């Protein structure tokens, strides 16, 4: 049997009522007593259930987002802000406020534990970039209302929401095939980049089904940066025969790809077509403008908000879902052999 509130009270030399008041932030308890109780809670590894705290303290009407806000991380991912905007819109309509807390993988657990123990939020929305095994264990053990924004790259019982990246890869390859491309290449992130790996999986499956397997010489993996996009494209141009289309796992890689092709004197799309994922603003700024698989991430934020509201009401409910709202945005970087909706 796990540690109970009675065990905490006995070890702290106080009453169950006092421990309950400390847990729920009552101001009638002295600082000395509160510190002693908190130390015992830590020492005994005691976690009060979310539902019990909610009953005792009532709703805060606050949802806290945990995300890495450092400039080299946050501002390289416009999707994060679109998701948060959609989340905030949905929660605000139901009377909730959204708090944003900057964390990283090293302190996300401690911050979440503090929020849960103090019951300063009704739920957590956690960006997948700061998700860890211990944090997943904490959330599932306590049945604390939460949603992870993105699919974790490890097995767990956490609730999460994400785009179906395999499906996105499938419709990218299907689109290029419909436009007459046959020698299709893929450049993307390393094997540990889950989104890129799943998109590659979808591309491979689709080409295999069409009887045109994706050849090893046409697959190049590196970092998800403009620099590596350039480098991987240069490697592709050493292949014989050349590919007639390149699928880039994200916009950053695609910008480097376009740079490399233009510097090598290639015409896009006459010589080689280029396609990417995610309709970031610069996909429409560069020349030629990029054909992309567009993902409605703001809607993903809306859906995450709806799930959180349900989970707050039913803490034991578990949600693991995809949002499959991807569609093709045709632009100048691919030829239009056939007009077709995807």
> Residue 330's Cα: distance from chain center in Å?
25
pLDDT over 80 at 248, yes or no: yes
pLDDT tens digit sequence for 180-221: 999 999 999 998 888 899 999 999 999 999 999 999 999 999
pLDDT at 3: 80
pLDDT at 46: 81
* pTM for this model (two decimals): 0.75
- Cα–Cα distance for residue pair 57/175, rounded to 1 Å: 54
Task: Kindly report the average pLDDT of the chain as a whole number.
Answer: 87
Q: How confident is the model at residue 342 (pLDDT cuts 50, 70, 90)?
A: very low
pLDDT at 45: 81
Q: What mean pLDDT comes out for the span 86-112?
A: 94
pLDDT over 50 at 39, yes or no: yes
pLDDT at 339: 47
pLDDT at 124: 96
Percent of the chain scored above 90 by pLDDT?
55
pLDDT tens digit sequence for 253-308: 999 999 999 999 999 999 999 999 988 887 888 889 999 999 888 888 999 999 99
Q: Which residues fall within 8 angstroms of residue 138, CB to CB, at 6 or more apart?
A: 47, 109, 112, 113, 116, 144
Q: Domains of the chain by range and CATH?
A: 5-46 (no CATH), 57-163+299-323 (3.40.50.2300), 165-295 (3.40.50.2300)
pLDDT at 51: 47
């Amino acid at each position: 049997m796990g540690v109970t509130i009675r065990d905490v009270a006995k070890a702290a030399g106080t009453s169950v009522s006092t421990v309950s008041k400390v847990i729920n932030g009552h101001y009638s308890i002295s600082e000395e007593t509160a510190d002693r109780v908190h130390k015992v809670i830590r020492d005994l590894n005691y976690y009060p259930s979310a539902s019990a705290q909610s009953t005792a303290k009532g709703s805060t009407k606050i949802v806290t987002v945990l995300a890495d806000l450092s400039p080299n991380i946050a501002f390289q991912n416009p999707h994060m802000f679109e998701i948060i905007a959609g989340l905030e819109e949905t929660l605000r309509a139901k009377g909730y406020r959204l708090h944003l807390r900057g964390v990283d993988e090293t302190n996300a657990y401690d911050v979440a534990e503090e929020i849960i123990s103090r019951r300063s939020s009704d739920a957590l929305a956690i960006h997948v970039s700061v998700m860890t095994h211990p944090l997943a264990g904490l959330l599932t053990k306590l049945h604390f209302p939460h949603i992870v924004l993105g699919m974790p790259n490890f097995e767990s019982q956490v609730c999460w929401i994400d785009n179906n990246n395999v499906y996105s890869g499938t419709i990218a390859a299907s689109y290029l095939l419909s436009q007459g491309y046959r020698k299709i290449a893929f450049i993307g992130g390393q094997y540990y980049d889950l989104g890129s790996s799943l998109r590659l999986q979808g591309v491979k499956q689709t080409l295999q089904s069409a009887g045109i397997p994706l050849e090893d010489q046409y697959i190049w993996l590196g970092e998800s940066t403009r620099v590596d996009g350039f480098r991987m494209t240069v490697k592709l141009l050493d292949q014989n025969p050349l590919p007639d289309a390149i699928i880039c796992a994200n916009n950053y890689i695609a910008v480097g790809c376009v740079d490399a092709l233009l510097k090598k004197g290639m015409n896009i799309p006459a010589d080689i077509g280029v396609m990417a994922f995610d309709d970031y603003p610069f996909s429409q700024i560069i020349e030629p403008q990029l054909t992309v698989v567009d993902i409605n991430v703001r809607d993903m934020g809306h859906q995450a908000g709806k799930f959180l509201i349900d989970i707050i009401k039913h803490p034991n409910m578990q949600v693991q879902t995809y949002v499959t709202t991807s569609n093709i945005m045709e632009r100048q970087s691919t030829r239009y052999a056939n007009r077709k909706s995807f």
